Amino acid sequence: MATNNWTIDPAHSELEFKIRHLVISTITGKFRIFSGTMVTARHDDFGNAIFTLEADVYSIDTNNRDRDEHLKSPDFFNADAFPKIEFKSTSFVHVEGDEHKLTGLLTIKGITKEVVLDVLFGGEAKDGFGISRAGFEINGVINRNDFDIHSADVTEAGGLVLGEDIRLHANIQFTNDSE
Ordered per-residue pLDDT tens for the chain, 179 residues? 568 899 999 999 999 998 866 666 688 899 999 999 999 987 567 888 999 999 999 999 999 899 899 889 988 899 999 999 999 999 999 999 999 999 999 999 999 999 999 999 999 999 888 889 999 999 999 888 888 887 655 444 444 466 677 899 999 999 998 76
Q: What is the pTM of this model?
A: 0.89
Q: Give the separation between CA 90 and CA 50, rounded to whole angstroms.
A: 7
Residue 22's pLDDT is what?
60
User: Could you please report the per-residue DSSP string of the chain?
Assistant: ---EEEEE-GGG-EEEEEEEETTTEEEEEEESSEEEEEEESBTTB-TT-EEEEEEEGGGEE-S-HHHHHHHHSTTTT-TTT--EEEEEEEEEEEEETTEEEEEEEEEETTEEEEEEEEEEEEEEEE-TTS-EEEEEEEEEEEEGGGGT-----B-TTS-BSEEEEEEEEEEEEEEETT-
Please state the φ and ψ torsions of residue 82, each to the nearest 5 degrees.
Answer: -135, 75
Beta bridge partners of 155: none
Residue 151's pLDDT is what?
60
Residue 52's pLDDT is what?
97
Does the domain formed by 4-176 have CATH 2.40.128.110? yes
Residue 147's pLDDT is what?
86
Residue 24's pLDDT is what?
65
Per-domain residue ranges of the chain: 4-176
Q: Give the separation between CA 127 and CA 55, rounded to whole angstroms.
A: 26
Residue 119's pLDDT is what?
97
Neighbours of 174 (CB within 10 A): 26
Residue type, 125: A
Q: Give the separation between CA 168 and CA 86, rounded to whole angstroms.
A: 14
Closest by Cα among 107, 151, 112 to 19: 151
